[in-house]
């Protein structure tokens, strides 16, 4: 069993779903900030797809815990106004600013925080990096209750001549964690060999109650919640909703830095 994140070439293609609508929405949030070139922090940036895209609208600091991934991003998704570096979401030791205008984190990154304690730690650290009026944009799934287990989901991703078939299955769901397996088959462009890849990943599942409580405990407030994929404003009705994916905007309640 291999560690998926040590294979940035596969990650880059495996996570390449159609995200045009999401990008447009985030872009509209950035425009609403009313800053000519805002400063953005992108935690757990992976291979830099979103960092490169949003570098058109913002100066970007983007980090990932995996050095291979950061090297890939520097090589393939480099821009003069993006700074890629290695750091951990739980620690944020190396972020060079404390006045970011926005922070962007997606579901496929935040799920790798392993516990509520880690999530709280992340919020506390992030809060210390924000400027007044800045926002945290989180795209995340909430309340998944383990349905659709063992139902493989497959797709083929293509980049140039490279084609990768990906199979994704959630195997089990237990105590706020899901165990998922990803299989990929592709032809290595250097060795020309057929590679069969398999990786197990454990992801954290979040629910409304704990998410809301952890945000409130961190002295932040939920500004807006939009449903996915239609981006309906469900800020007031979300408590009645079943499992889903959402875009959540958080703001600081007070500007005091946490210690």
Ligand X SMILES: C[S@@+](CC[C@H](N)C(=O)[O-])C[C@H]1O[C@@H](n2cnc3c(N)ncnc32)[C@H](O)[C@@H]1O
List of residues contacting ligand X (CB under 6 A): 5, 11, 15, 44-47, 49-50, 64-66, 69, 88-90, 106, 108-109, 112
What minimum distance in Å lies between the beta carbon of 1 and ligand X? 16
What minimum distance in Å lies between the beta carbon of 29 and ligand X? 16
- 89 versus 103: smaller Cβ distance to ligand X: 89
73, 48 Cβ separation under 8 angstroms: yes
Q: Give yes or no for a cis peptide into 229 (omega within 30° of 0).
A: yes
What minimum distance in Å lies between the beta carbon of 157 and ligand X? 13
Q: In what order do the strands lie in the sheet with 220-227?
A: 82-86, 59-64, 39-42, 100-105, 130-142, 244-252, 220-227
- 85 versus 235: smaller Cβ distance to ligand X: 85
What minimum distance in Å lies between the beta carbon of 247 and ligand X? 14
- 69 versus 252: smaller Cβ distance to ligand X: 69
**DSSP secondary structure string, 88-100?**
-TTT--S---S-E
Q: Which residues pair with 249 in a beta bridge?
A: 137, 224
- 64 versus 101: smaller Cβ distance to ligand X: 64
Which residue's CB atom is positioned nearest to ligand X? 46
What minimum distance in Å lies between the beta carbon of 152 and ligand X? 18
Backbone angles phi, psi at 153, to 5 degrees: -120, 120
CA–CA separation, 144 and 112 (whole Å): 15
- 112 versus 228: smaller Cβ distance to ligand X: 112
């Amino acid at each position: 069993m291999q560690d998926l994140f040590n294979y940035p070439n596969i990650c880059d293609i495996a996570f390449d779903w159609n995200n045009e609508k999401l990008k447009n929405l985030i872009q509209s949030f950035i425009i609403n900030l009313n800053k000519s070139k805002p400063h953005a922090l992108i935690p757990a940036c992976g291979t830099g797809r979103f960092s490169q895209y949003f570098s058109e609208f913002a100066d970007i600091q983007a980090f990932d815990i995996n050095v291979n991934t950061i090297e890939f991003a520097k090589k393939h998704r480099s821009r003069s106004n993006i700074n890629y570096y290695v750091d951990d979401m739980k620690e944020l030791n190396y972020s060079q600013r404390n006045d970011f205008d926005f922070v962007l984190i997606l579901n496929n990154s935040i799920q790798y925080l392993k516990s509520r304690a880690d999530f709280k730690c992340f919020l506390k650290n992030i809060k210390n990096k924000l400027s007044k009026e800045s926002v945290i944009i989180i795209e995340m799934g909430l309340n998944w209750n383990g349905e659709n287990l063992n139902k493989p989901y497959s797709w083929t991703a293509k980049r140039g001549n490279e084609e990768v078939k990906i199979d994704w299955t959630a195997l089990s769901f237990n105590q706020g964690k899901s165990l998922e397996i990803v299989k990929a088959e592709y032809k290595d462009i250097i060795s020309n060999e057929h590679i069969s890849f398999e990786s197990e990943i454990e992801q954290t599942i979040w629910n409304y109650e704990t998410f809301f409580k952890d945000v409130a405990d961190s002295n932040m407030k939920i500004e807006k919640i939009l449903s996915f994929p239609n981006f309906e404003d469900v800020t007031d009705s979300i408590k009645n909703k079943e499992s889903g994916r959402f875009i959540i905007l958080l703001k600081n309640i007070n500007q005091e830095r946490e210690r």
